Structure 1
Amino acid sequence: MPARRSILLSFSRLAVILLCMLAVQAQSVQAKPRLSLQSSVPSETLPVANPKFKHPVDQHQVFFLQRTTNANTIVYVAQFDADGQLNRQRPMHGYWRRFAGRGHQMAFRWYERVAGFGARTRALNNGADFEVRFNGLKDQQLLLKQNGPFDAALYTRQNGRDYRMIYGYIDVDDSGLLPRVTRLRLYTSDPETGNFMTHTIAVSGGAFRE
């Protein structure tokens, strides 16, 4: 029973993390967290959410996610064919970078992949770009765009504008029975201005229950 309880709590944590990473309304078992955009602040340099946590610099990286709980980081990378075009069968791949340990790469567990962090992709009619939908939030559409040979980026829409995703950082309250997300900071760049943009999103009612 203790092992089963640990698995269920891990599943709840992962569902909430994915919800906040995308900053959209999610599907929960009993409650739907409420998200409120507090601000979108431009800057000339990329802010560092937590100086104690290492930022990954993996090859072809398009997005990563960190949390207050520990330094372990979720990384997404683009995958290309020999000509530098996005791989038609699997254009994007995600995994853990275990910075709380020795920094090694670790695959998602099956429930992490199926219920949250795994992604489905669909080739667009232009023959180069892909629609991306995470398994935990299938109604949220992102764009994986080919910018050049061996060069791609992931985009999200905020306030009616498309921003290039860089990383996300979420505040997790572990004081209760289940982890609860209270805030998301989504760090992006603005293709129109060249500035960075930090979107701060408040989260309420973010506890999931099995």
Structure 2
Amino acid sequence: MSVPWALAAGIAIAAHGTPGRAQEGTVITHGNAQQRASGSTLEEVDSLPVIRPDFPVPDDPGMVFYLQRSTNSNTVVYAARFLYNGKLDPRQPVMAYWRRFNTTGERLPLKMIEDSFAFGVRARATDDPDVFTLYVVSYPERRAILRLVEPGRAELLLPVDGRRMRMRYAYVDVDESGLVPSVREVVVTGHDVQTGRALVERIQIE
């Protein structure tokens, strides 16, 4: 099984920095043989889980998705960008940036290496000016859909097991006990577009 959208967005094994600690801006790419998704399960639940209630939840304007990691509360926010008329900005319909909740909570841009190899997102236009396909730079093969719902509001949709999930957030469980950090599991949460039911995809990593 290939590495999924949220996994590629959020996991990284450091090529630099302090040994034994996961570093921001490092990534497992689809070509990395060290770890891969060994399978996943999709489950309907009564409500979306709050995996880390001690972590702040971002509420940024235009936010369509956010990513948390077990290493600390710093969060990557993916937010839609709009024109003056509420339409998606075709030059950059979505952007990714940090909320540094581990310190002051301030918003900071991704570093160049993070944008180029880890958390950065790229968009491609479709025949519909209100719809864009998105991919994370570290795994372009799995695509999500950014769709304008109404002026000034958009949603991010991900195909999962024959269904479409309106994405909410992902959580990456990182094991830092060894010399090199590794990923235990990735949890992707959202709602079924058709039924509205809460969905949880759990991706096992080996």
TM-score (norm 2): 0.86
In structure 2, the residue matched to 1:34 is 37
In structure 1, the residue matched to 2:121 is 119
1:6 aligned partner, one-letter code: G
> Are the equivalent residues in 1 in contact too, given 2:38–2:204 (CA < 8 A)?
yes
1:152 aligned partner, one-letter code: A
The sequence identity of aligned pairs, in percent, is 30
- Cα distance in structure 2, aligned partners of 1:12 and 1:69: 10
2:39 aligned partner, one-letter code: S
Q: Which runs of 5+ in 1 are unaligned?
A: 20-25, 205-210
- Cα distance in structure 1, aligned partners of 2:145 and 2:117: 20
1:27 aligned partner, one-letter code: G
Q: Secondary structure at the match of 2:194?
A: coil
- Cα distance in structure 2, aligned partners of 1:11 and 1:139: 24
Q: Secondary structure at the match of 2:26?
A: helix
Q: Which runs of 5+ in 2 are unaligned?
A: 1-14
In structure 2, the residue matched to 1:82 is 84
Q: Secondary structure at the match of 2:17?
A: helix
- Cα distance in structure 2, aligned partners of 1:151 and 1:44: 25
> Are the equivalent residues in 1 in contact too, given 2:175–2:181 (CA < 8 A)?
yes
Say whether residues 1:189 and 2:191 are aligned partners: yes
CA RMSD of aligned residues (A): 2.0
Say whether residues 1:136 and 2:147 are aligned partners: no
- Which whole-Å deviations, capped at 9, do the CAs of 1:76-122 have from their partners, x for residues lacking one? 00000011000010000100101110111111111101012111111
Q: 1:32 to 1:68 in 2, by over 3 A?
A: closer
Q: Secondary structure at the match of 1:141?
A: strand
- Cα distance in structure 2, aligned partners of 1:73 and 1:177: 24
Map 1:1-210 onto structure 2 (within 5 A): 5-6=16-17, 14-16=26-28, 26-28=30-32, 30-37=33-40, 39-204=41-206
Say which is worse superposed, 43-52 or 84-93, in terms of deviation: 43-52
TM-score (norm 1): 0.85
> Are the equivalent residues in 1 in contact too, given 2:79–2:96 (CA < 8 A)?
yes
In structure 2, the residue matched to 1:22 is none
For these two proteins, the number of residue pairs brought into alignment is: 191
> Are the equivalent residues in 2 in contact too, given 1:60–1:152 (CA < 8 A)?
yes
Following TM superposition, where does structure 1 have runs of at least 4 consecutive aligned residues deviating by more than 2 angstroms? 7-14, 43-46
Q: Secondary structure at the match of 2:154?
A: strand
